Amino acid sequence: MTTDIVSRRKLPARYAAVISPLVLSLLMTFIVSLISTLKSLGLQPSMPGIWMVAWGLSWLVAFPTLLIVLPIVRRIVGVLCEPAR
């Protein structure tokens, strides 16, 4: 039995304000911490473990920061851009 991704149950729209910064913070900190860890340590056997610690710490800061900053960013973008028609 195949399960179509579209037919899966979705979260209500009211959760989008939290899910969006959650996903954004996970992806951004994943990439940035990888680049930063590689730059400072180079490729070495202990790098993945050190990177995961760096990723976890950076995400702990990034997610709450995004929750606080995103409403301000939306207001700034609203001032700078024409509304969609």
In angstroms, the first-to-last Cα distance of the chain is: 42
**Per-residue model confidence as pLDDT tens digits over 13-71:** 999 999 999 999 999 999 999 999 999 999 999 999 999 999 999 999 999 999 999 99
Nearest to 27 by CA among 74, 71, 59: 59
Nearest to 31 by CA among 11, 47, 54, 14: 54
Rounded to two decimals, what is the model's pTM? 0.79
Question: pLDDT band at residue 1, thresholds of 50, 70 and 90?
Answer: low
